[in-house]
Chains A and B, each alone.
Chain A
Amino acid sequence: MKIIFDHIMPEPLASIAHSAESIWGNHIEFNPGEKILLNASSGKGKSTFTMTSFGLRRDYRGTVTYDGRDIKTFTPDEWALIRQEKISVVFQDLQLFPSLTVAENLEIKNELSKVYSERELREMLDLLGIGDKWDQKCGLLSMGQQQRLAIIRALSQPFELLIMDEPFSHLDEENSQKCLTLIHKRCDEQNAGFVLTTLGDSHNTHFDKELKL
Chain B
Amino acid sequence: MLSKLLFRNQDKKQLVIAIVGAFMGITFLVTSIHYLIKVNEFGEGADILGPNTIIVQKKVSSSSTLRLTKTDFSEREIQTIKQEKFIADVQPVISNNFDVSFETADPMVPRFRSDVFIQTLDPEFLDVKSSKWHWEEGDEFVPIILPRDFLVMLNTFMSAQGIPQVSDELAMDIKFKFTLSNETGKEWVDARIIGFTNEVASILVPESFMTYGNDKYAKGKDQLITQVMISGKESEFGLVEELLTKRGLESKNSQMVVGRLKSMVGTLFLVVLGISIIAVFVSGLVLIQYMQLLMSRNAYEVRTLLRIGYHPKTIIRQFFVYFVKVFGIVSALALLIFFLFKYFLDNMFASGGLYIDTGLSYQSIGALIVAYGIFTYSSYSSAKKGIFKEY
Contact = CB atoms under 8 A, between A and B. Distances in A.
A97 B311 contact: no
A157 interface: yes
B303 to A, nearest CB: 8
Interface string B1-45: 110110011000000000000000000000000000000000000
A100 interface: yes
Q: How large is the interface on A (under 10, 10 to 19, 20 to 34, 35 or more residues)?
A: 20 to 34
B308 A83 contact: yes
Contact of B301 (A54, A97, A109): A97
B315 to A, nearest CB: 11
A80 B304 CA distance: 12
A99 B309 contact: no
Contacts of B301: 97
Contact of B5 (A56, A84, A97, A113): A97
A148 interface: no
A113 B5 CA distance: 19
A83 B307 contact: yes
A91 B5 contact: no
A77 interface: yes
Contact of A76 (B2, B308, B312): B312
A80 B307 contact: no
A48 to B, nearest CB: 15
A99 B1 contact: no
Contact of B308 (A77, A99, A100, A153): A153
Nearest to B9: A99
B310 A112 contact: yes
A80 B4 CA distance: 22
Nearest to A76: B312
Nearest to A85: B309
Contact of A77 (B1, B2, B311): B311
A133 B259 CA distance: 78
B391 interface: yes
B301 to A, nearest CB: 6
A111 interface: yes
A109 B312 contact: no
A91 B8 contact: no
Interface in A134-175: 153, 157
B1 A108 contact: yes
A69 B308 CA distance: 22
Contacts of B309: 80, 83-84, 109, 112-113, 157
Given A76-B391, A97-B301, A109 B5 contact: no
A42 interface: no
Interface string B307-329: 11111110000000000000000
A99 B8 CA distance: 9
Contacts of B8: 99
Given A76-B312, A76-B391, A80-B312, A95 B307 contact: yes
Contacts of B310: 80, 112
A159 B391 CA distance: 21
B304 A95 contact: yes
A112 B305 CA distance: 11
Most buried by A among B9, B309, B310, B391: B309
Contact of B1 (A83, A111, A157): A111
> Considering the complex of A and B, which 3 residue pairs feature the smallest CB-CB distances, nearest first?
A83-B309, A84-B309, A80-B311
23 contacts: A76-B391, A77-B311, A80-B309, A80-B311, A80-B312, A84-B309, A95-B308, A97-B5, A97-B301, A97-B304, A99-B8, A100-B1, A100-B4, A100-B5, A104-B1, A104-B5, A107-B1, A108-B1, A108-B5, A108-B308, A109-B308, A112-B309, A157-B309
Interface of B: 1-2, 4-5, 8-9, 301, 304-305, 307-313, 391
Interface of A: 54, 56, 76-77, 80, 83-84, 89, 91, 95-97, 99-100, 104, 107-109, 111-113, 153, 157
